[in-house]
Structure 1
Amino acid sequence: MEALRRMLTAKEVADRLGVSRTTAYTVIRELNEEMAHRGCKVIPGRVSNEYFEAVYFGDRSKEGEVTDVR
């Protein structure tokens, strides 16, 4: 089984959200701005898989609870 990638590309974000690549780049830019504001290093055109999943699909780290990471 292939391990999940830590950083997602615009194509991967577009596929997961069912949006165009242009919209995916906008999503990545917004998430990277949030992460940079928190003091994280970012890579333009890529987004952390963990942060993306938490923001768009909820943080499921606690037994079935969904928490907001923002």
Structure 2
Amino acid sequence: MTTRSLPSITSLNEAQQRGWACVWCRAPLGIDLGDDLGEQRVRPAAGAAYSWFPRQCSDAAACQAREGA
């Protein structure tokens, strides 16, 4: 698992928020691909709290290479 702090949800697109894409490099993650980073709860200043479901690539080296590109 990651030891990095997750990025702010406001900086992520819908695919990243829903676990369809890596939170770091934005690579698409198919079913059963990537590492689940667990359900995260957001409590905005206004509005109701909600959950988001981040995932990251399983191959950290390839992910970092894509993220740096």
Shorter-chain TM-score above 0.5: no
TM-score (norm 2): 0.26
Q: Which has the higher helix share?
A: 1
* Higher relative contact order, structure no. (Cα contacts within 8 Å, ≥ 6 residues apart): 2
